[in-house]
Structure 1
């Protein structure tokens, strides 16, 4: 007889509720628990305190009689051959099912920030590089391919994307974020969520919320956030990814906001997330986030107290291992039922409650780096490379030159790979292990790109010098960029400033190539450089992508998702800052960036026609339509990125000078033109006022049609009429931009 919870014709909520009613307290608690098999394996931690916590967490054998909620990183903890790994995961799932009376499998999760974090899986560019593409469609395609590869080996949930809006680039996890603008982060993050969810993988939004706004950009530090910054800068990407992207999981942040840790923040996890945004998925703790309520935040007296605080606030699952959510320590029944129901609904949606469910067997060979994945990685890498300066016309380079390639990162794979790639996250702990995928260094890629060039060691003997600088990614101090690798300032690390000074002193035209996880201060060399190129950890295809831009085989089309500072100690005020934060009396510090948000050059030229607005005066619940023509006036193809910025001359609180509200990539052949049409809803003018309400106010606005936040081609005056209008979760959050 098929029980109601096994009946696939019934709604997921009905099935899950029926199963919940049959469970004991211990069985319910087990569904909120996880096991990290292999966490106590010899070697360095891939997460802080991994070995310490592993010895204090419930083992699989102890939980088997009750079932298990999640399996942690079966591919991303130690090197696992994909086909054999799928077979071993299937064996573990069979053991789990056989151990509990309902034959329920566990939900398996993995990291997937730069592709599936597994050995031999395609390594994609880091999220800061996604931001540089300004290409949501490509990011969706990438994410769906990543999700499909994860499903092929039995994974159900991906711990990505990171939707933290960067507030200070000294933060080590800047490379994991998409950029410094909430609209760019929201639209590209939502695009990633759509792709991952389309592949059947549960997308997990992190880190909710305020993680990137920590004091002095220190990892885990408190976030000094006012309610308006939280509402208007930090939260919109999460809101869009849930509402428009369909994300089914959220991960709280490690930080506290005004003294209240996110893992115990009822207003954030329940009142906002559940009640206002109507989120129905699961909230999974960041690794050891529940334990840290006791050990770091010191707001709980013991593991049980930490569990009750987190559960009451809205955390449903403890990751990566069961320590506080323990069947041996009873939790309040009503809160336990609430969380367990959410977990069971999600398992039902994934098919894990179906009577005919079977694990992926691993019988069919698995290729996690097939040609179409490498092609996608190449496209993302190529679109993400930003040409910052080319004043001397040094680029593109012709073949046959004498080229000197200098700098400590010119011949290092680490300069291509972010901290959440398998080689830098796990592989570094296994020095005898092959990388698993082909990753050319820039020096290797240059030799392939310029077969007729003579590569020389001494810049003084060369026609052009390529000075390659930037970061080595790592975790917890094992690199200059990455989780736990925060910086005191934005000076180039590893003594690379001296390398640049010496190279430029010889008089040879020098092209500065930055391969990094964050922007660095380049004002000391920008005026002397023949050209400047920026790539943010562009992945396994990054070497050929950067080399292709240098040769002109690839047309540069990336745009900065984050400002590049002029000096290392005077970080640029985020371009979202109000006028008072900008340069001027009475401060002697000039925070003006060297290269602003949205900046990027091409090898061709474009003309922008005068925009036309059909009805520049509209009501606070209306919209305006704008159109203009962009033409490629050069002699080679190229892509312009049209950016729309909103300027509000007068507000009831201090407002950003400009903020991004729309964009579109416009690829054009030489001499070709295209019409760009944008629909701007009044809702995008909304902001949080002095009384805490998000409102659209009548009055004058300016829509700036621009090539960057500082390079405005045209200004379109707009006027909103009618009453002040309060908007909420149902507001329009996008400016629809179309290219014809």
Structure 2
């Protein structure tokens, strides 16, 4: 099998080389750009009108075409009719262009295929809250199956940016604040998507989430150790362990050098060190931004040369820099055509891998397209249920039988409240208000009425997500007074570039709930009725007041199309909550940026009067049952190059079955550089019935213990490690210590990165 694979690769290399040698410069450039067929206002991106050259599809594809941008995801289209159009266009490329090469079709797929009527899953922050990589793999495969059926070849997901500041608008696209959680969950998505033959694309390589003050596009001042130990590992895992086939360069700049023009990152780290052999695509308009925003290029031709030299193979979404400006720069001798050949070769090798060099599109396109099947909904429901985090509870939850409930708040009865900014509902449909959602989305009010009986549910809106209209407060207070319990549903509206309270370009300089939602909460609390706060958000907010004063607080990070039934199940007790916080619950905006991965001086102490301690820590989440963790065990002495094999006994000591997330943390006692006070080393979700016990085994490879030393190398040093398991990073329920012996172990490509676990 290996010999056949190598033989096929050699044949593809030779075939692509022959194609490149036969191509004119215009034909080469056509293969390294995309085309986005859109109308005014349909391209949801900043500054697009500043530089995009308008051309028709016929003009853009005269010499062939590299990528077709968002065929299904630009506007609401019937999938079957759009597939007929796509197949016809691909046939024209095959039959009527000199090289006969079809286009590669890419789409957004962060929370499902971003297309009308397609299943929409929970946001990545909810994936992180589930701590369930296997389920994320299933979701990725379901998304990939829909894409493949429609002739889509590449998905622009997952986002592997590690959350560094919750004020940043794109937090809802991210998985969590721990690089290992981000890496394991994100790599699982890659594996699921690519199992269907659709290529995944890692975003945004690298450093985007560490922007100054949590501002989108802000410069990044991270030091080389933070980049190496926090920001890079998820990408490395997805490249080395996940075999990802595409990577997207970041908009940001690191220490003054825009990533899209930095060969040390896009070539030195990604290709030379990690062995990546796929394609690097530009974030939309990112090549042109080298001139327009970063000002490191005098014109678009110079910007194209910088990006090509750095390692950006494909300009997306169009060819603003890589067509006429680059052609002129090549002919003037300012850019070496060998750089174009390198990019074209990579682009064509990707097409060969996808089978596009042999595709004729003589077959018929799909006519019966179902993008939201019962299997999609099953996965969406389970992931939504597993991602709900019970932050606090005085015993009011689960709701008792016969209770009369007032469901109040701007997100109580709004389908859009279930989705993130890259969902089709919030990304595209705001530009088409005449078009319906296209999928069934039960709101929380509707789902609770179905769960408890409509006669048991009263409702009032109270206020909007983000304005100062208080005229609905009196109605909210009235229904709360008439009920036994008030379920207050507050949070975000996801949007883009100022059109939402969270999402791309929707950053914040505080972490209070938007608008007058806090005032609504105070009015309802003043009734004296028990208040259950349900947060539907794309970021964690500073809600310490609610944790202290509400009967219960439930956090859901945009749970998708089945979020309403999932939340209703948690409130009623049909579902036992099992989500865990993938990001710390902040105390205030003034304490940001904050991460649980801080060194000793990054926490509380006598050297400052201000507390950085979050309201609730990373990993926190309550259940309707209780679990104990005992007998943490590991060989007391091991070598620096060997894995740690750790076991812990978990027992359900409560009155009902439920899922526990076993979390293993560690700390270097003494190291050559400062190290975090806690670091996630492994985790495992396990289901236990009442009274049941299991022993969970976690294998921690050497690379999980590694860090960047004073010379810039990633190493494992000899010395003592503290290990513990508890309900969050901040609690040591059972602990032990291990001593690493031997010399300093330098991490190589042969070191495993994944933690494996066994439950027995």
Q: TM-score range by the shorter chain?
A: over 0.9
Identify the residue that residue 315 of structure 1 maps to in structure 2: 312
Deviations 1:623-667 (A, max 9, x none): 232222211122211011100111111111111101111000010
Distance 1:464 1:291 in 2: 55
- Following superposition, the deviation at residue 440 of structure 1 comes to 1.4
Distance 2:265 2:351 in 1: 24
More moved, 128-137 vs 455-464: 455-464
Segments of structure 2 that go 5 or more residues without pairing to the other structure are: 1-6, 460-477
Deviations 1:471-525 (A, max 9, x none): 0000111100100000111111021111111111111111111100000001122
Identify the residue that residue 4 of structure 1 maps to in structure 2: none
Identify the residue that residue 17 of structure 2 maps to in structure 1: 17
TM-score by length of 2: 0.94
Contact 2:487 2:531 (8 Å CA) reproduced = yes
Identify the residue that residue 603 of structure 2 maps to in structure 1: 582
Residue 572 (structure 2) pairs with residue 551 (structure 1): yes
Per the alignment, in what secondary structure is the counterpart of residue 665 of structure 2?
A: strand
Distance 1:84 1:52 in 2: 33
Residue 293 (structure 2) pairs with residue 296 (structure 1): yes
Map 1:690-705 → 2, pairs under 5 A:
690-705=710-725
Contact 2:116 2:438 (8 Å CA) reproduced = yes
Q: Which of 588, 598, 603 pairs up with 2:624?
A: 603
Residue 393 (structure 2) pairs with residue 395 (structure 1): no
Residue 373 (structure 2) pairs with residue 353 (structure 1): no
Per the alignment, in what secondary structure is the counterpart of residue 458 of structure 1?
A: helix
Identify the residue that residue 522 of structure 2 maps to in structure 1: 501
Residue 126 (structure 2) pairs with residue 105 (structure 1): no
- Following superposition, the deviation at residue 44 of structure 1 comes to 4.9
Per the alignment, in what secondary structure is the counterpart of residue 21 of structure 1?
A: helix
Residue 275 (structure 2) pairs with residue 282 (structure 1): no
Contact 1:84 1:362 (8 Å CA) reproduced = no
Per the alignment, in what secondary structure is the counterpart of residue 527 of structure 1?
A: helix
Identify the residue that residue 657 of structure 2 maps to in structure 1: 637
Identify the residue that residue 137 of structure 1 maps to in structure 2: 134
Contact 2:546 2:553 (8 Å CA) reproduced = no
Map 1:37-186 → 2, pairs under 5 A:
37=37, 39=38, 41-54=39-52, 56-186=53-183
Q: Would the alpha carbon gap of residues 360 and 495 (structure 1) be closer, same or farther in structure 2, given more than 3 Å must change?
A: farther
Residue 584 (structure 2) pairs with residue 563 (structure 1): yes
TM-score by length of 1: 0.96
Q: Which of 320, 335, 343 pairs up with 1:339?
A: 343
Contact 2:486 2:530 (8 Å CA) reproduced = yes
Distance 1:244 1:652 in 2: 29
Deviations 1:218-248 (A, max 9, x none): 0001011100000000000000001111110
- Following superposition, the deviation at residue 568 of structure 1 comes to 4.1
Distance 1:682 1:150 in 2: 37
Q: Which of 365, 382, 385 pairs up with 1:382?
A: 385
Deviations 1:366-406 (A, max 9, x none): 1111111111111111111011111x111000232121112
Residue 548 (structure 2) pairs with residue 521 (structure 1): no
- Following superposition, the deviation at residue 9 of structure 1 comes to 9.1
- Following superposition, the deviation at residue 318 of structure 1 comes to 0.3
Deviations 1:9-46 (A, max 9, x none): 96322221222122122211111111111x2x144542
Contact 2:448 2:565 (8 Å CA) reproduced = yes
Distance 1:370 1:359 in 2: 27
Contact 2:42 2:74 (8 Å CA) reproduced = no
Deviations 1:122-179 (A, max 9, x none): 0100000000010010000100110010010110000000000000000000000000
Contact 1:524 1:567 (8 Å CA) reproduced = no
More moved, 697-706 vs 626-635: 626-635
In angstroms, what is the RMSD of aligned CA positions?
1.6
Q: Would the alpha carbon gap of residues 261 and 58 (structure 1) be closer, same or farther in structure 2, given more than 3 Å must change?
A: farther
Deviations 1:267-298 (A, max 9, x none): 00011111011100000000000000000000
Contact 2:167 2:510 (8 Å CA) reproduced = yes
Distance 2:515 2:96 in 1: 53
Q: Which runs of 4+ in 1 moved over 6 A?
A: none
Residue 30 (structure 2) pairs with residue 26 (structure 1): no
Per the alignment, in what secondary structure is the counterpart of residue 189 of structure 1?
A: helix
Segments of structure 1 that go 5 or more residues without pairing to the other structure are: 1-6
- Following superposition, the deviation at residue 571 of structure 1 comes to 3.5
- Following superposition, the deviation at residue 362 of structure 1 comes to 2.8
Contact 2:179 2:234 (8 Å CA) reproduced = yes
Identify the residue that residue 441 of structure 2 maps to in structure 1: 439
Q: Would the alpha carbon gap of residues 89 and 666 (structure 1) be closer, same or farther in structure 2, given more than 3 Å must change?
A: same
